[in-house]
Structure 1
Amino acid sequence: MQDFTTTTFGILVFPEVEELDFVGPWEMLTMWSKVANGPGRCLIVSESPGPLTCAKGLSINPHVSFADCPPLDYLLVPGGQGTRREVGNRALLDFVSSQAANCRAVLSVCTGSFVLHATGLLAGKRATTHWAQLDRFRELGDVDVVEERFVRDGKLWSSAGVSAGIDLMLAFIASESGDDAAGKVQHASEYYPAETRYGKYEDHAQAPAYLKRPRP
C-alpha cells in the first residue's frame, strides 16, 4: 500500500466559498491522516494571506497563499457563490492549472466544477455539480454531465452539492487507500447518515436522478 504520509493535500478557498463544501472534506481528510495514515500535510490555500469570509459568514484563516503554497499531490476545489466570480480570476485559474498538472488527483465539490471547467480540465470529461446548476453546467457544452452523488473520470473527481463532498472524500479515500482505511475514517467520524427524507423533495422537478431511484 502506498505511503500517503509523505503527501500534501490542498483545499482551495476564496471569498464566499460554501462552508460545508470544504469543511466536510477537510474533516474526512484530516481524520484519514489521524486514523489511517493519510496525507502527512493538509493545507487550506487562498490567493492572498489573511482571513476571508465564507458564504454563510464564517471567517477562516487559510494556512498558505498561492505564493507560498508548496507543490500539491492532491487538490480539492469547493463551490459556493464565490465561484461565479472566481471562474474569471486568472490568478486562481493559473494556480489550479499549474498545481493540477502534477497532482495525482483533482477534486471538486458543488460548483467548484465550474472552476475546473474554466481551466479546461473538464473538457470531454464526466462530471457533476449542485442540482440547481445542472442545466447551467450542461450549457457549457463540452462536459458529460452525470446526475450522481459523485463522479470519477480518471484523476478528476466531482461531487454534487454541499454535503456530497463528504461522500466524495470517503470514496476517494477508499480508492486511494482501500476500503479499510475509508471504513476507519467513516467509523471515527460516525458518518452514517440517517435514511429519513423530509418533505418529499426527492419528488422536486429539479431533484437529481440519483434521488429518484429506489433505495436498496
Structure 2
Amino acid sequence: MKKIGIFVYEGVEPIEIAIFGTFSMAKRVIPDLEMFLVSENGGDVLLANGLVVKAHHSFSSSPPIDALIICGGPGWPKQVSNRKALDFIGAHRETLTASVCTGAMIFAATGLLDGKEATTKASYADGEVDPFEVFRERFPNVRLNRAGIVDLGSQVTGGGVSLCIDTALHVLAKLYDEETADKVAKVICYDVARAANARERGILVAGQ
C-alpha cells in the first residue's frame, strides 16, 4: 500500500486538484493506493477564485506517506515564507517529493533544490510576470530547465498547469512502474496527451 499526501494551501489553483483526481482514477488499477489532502491546519482550504476543499489532515495529523506533492497557484508567495510549511516539506526530505507548477517556488524555498535542476510554470497570460524570471530572481541557486518534468530521483518538479496530471503519473511510475502509470493514463484517456507532452516538452532525468 502506498500513501500520497497532496499539500494544499490558500490560493492553490483549482485545476491542480486534478492531481487528486488522477490518483482517484488510479485506484481502478491500484486498489490499495491511498491519497489525501494535507494543509497546515486541516479542514476547509480556500483555493483560487472561491473553490473550497477540505484537507483530510493537518501537518500535525498527517500519517506517514510514500510521496508528497506540493501544489502551485497564486498563493505560493505566502507559503515560501511559511516556516511551518517549509519545515513540513523538509521533514520529508527522504521521501519522494514532487512539485507542480509554481509549487516549485515553495519547494525551492526549503533549500532542498539548491545546486540542482528544476522546472516550474513556463506559460503565462498577457500582463503576468514570467514565472521563470521570478524563480531565477528569488532562487538563484537552483538551475532552471524548461523540461516538462525534471526528475532528480527522490525530488521531482513538474511544469504548469495541466502538467500536474503528467507529474502525478510520473510519481505513480516511480512508486510502482511505468506499465502501471501507462495503464492509469489510458483509463483517464490521457495516454496520447502524456506521450505528446513527453515528446514535445521533455522529461529530464538526472544521470541520463
Structure 2 equivalent of residue 134 of structure 1: 132
Q: Which one has a bigger Cα radius of gyration? A: 1
Tell me, what secondary structure is at the counterpart of 1:45?
A: strand
Structure 2 equivalent of residue 146 of structure 1: 145
Structure 1 equivalent of residue 8 of structure 2: 13
Structure 2 equivalent of residue 95 of structure 1: 88
Q: Does 1:120 align with 2:111?
A: yes
CA displacement 1:105-149 (0-9 Å, x = unmatched): 100001111111111111111100011311121222111100011
Amino acid at match of 2:29: V
Provide the TM-score with structure 2 as the length reference.
0.83
Equivalent residues of 2:94, 2:154 under 8 A apart: no
Structure 2 equivalent of residue 82 of structure 1: 75
Tell me, what secondary structure is at the counterpart of 2:150?
A: strand
Cα distance between partner residues in 1 of 2:116 and 2:53 = 32
Deviation at 1:192, TM superposition (A): 4.5
Cα distance between partner residues in 2 of 1:194 and 1:35 = 19
Deviation at 1:38, TM superposition (A): 5.9
Q: Name the Cα RMSD after superposition.
A: 2.0
Tell me, what secondary structure is at the counterpart of 1:135?
A: helix
- From 93, 100, 108, give the equivalent of 2:99: 108
Cα distance between partner residues in 2 of 1:68 and 1:117 = 24
Deviation at 1:28, TM superposition (A): 1.9
Provide the TM-score with structure 1 as the length reference.
0.80
Amino acid at match of 1:101: R
Tell me, what secondary structure is at the counterpart of 1:136?
A: helix
Cα distance between partner residues in 1 of 2:65 and 2:161 = 23
Tell me, what secondary structure is at the counterpart of 1:34?
A: coil
Structure 2 equivalent of residue 188 of structure 1: 187
Deviation at 1:12, TM superposition (A): 0.4
Question: Which aligned runs of 4 or more in structure 1 are off by greater than 6 angstroms?
Answer: none
Q: Does 1:55 align with 2:54?
A: no
Paired positions, count: 189
Amino acid at match of 1:171: H
Q: Which residues of structure 1 form unaligned runs of 5+?
A: 196-208, 212-216
Tell me, what secondary structure is at the counterpart of 2:50?
A: coil
Equivalent residues of 1:36, 1:184 under 8 A apart: no
Tell me, what secondary structure is at the counterpart of 1:56?
A: helix
Identity of aligned residues (%): 33
